[in-house]
């Protein structure tokens, strides 16, 4: 598998960095983060879908590497 498959990079249109976290942003993030156009709920749904799609590739890679002797 390629490094891209192991370490994917994705963007979510309309999202800001803080929508991946929870709680109040630290002052630096509050001052310089992107202004989101997507709702937090929409972004969380997309993050969940992306993670759910990625996890099987991790399991497949782990299973394949455990077969190598």
Per-residue pLDDT of the chain (69 residues; tens, 9 = 90+): 567 777 888 999 999 999 988 889 999 999 999 999 999 999 999 999 999 999 988 877 767 666 655
And the tokens for 8?
């994917």
pTM of this structure? 0.73
Instruction: Identify the pLDDT of residue 66.
Output: 65
Of 45, 47, 21, residue with least CA distance to 33:
21
* Under 8 Å between Cβ of 15 and 38: yes
Instruction: Identify the pLDDT of residue 48.
Output: 95
């Amino acid at each position: 598998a390629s490094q891209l498959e192991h370490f994917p990079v994705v963007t979510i249109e309309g999202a800001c960095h803080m929508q991946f976290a929870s709680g109040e942003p630290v002052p630096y993030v509050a001052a310089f983060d992107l202004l989101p156009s997507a709702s937090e709920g929409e972004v969380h749904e997309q993050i969940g879908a992306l993670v759910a799609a990625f996890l099987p590739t991790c399991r497949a890679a782990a299973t394949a590497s455990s077969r190598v002797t």
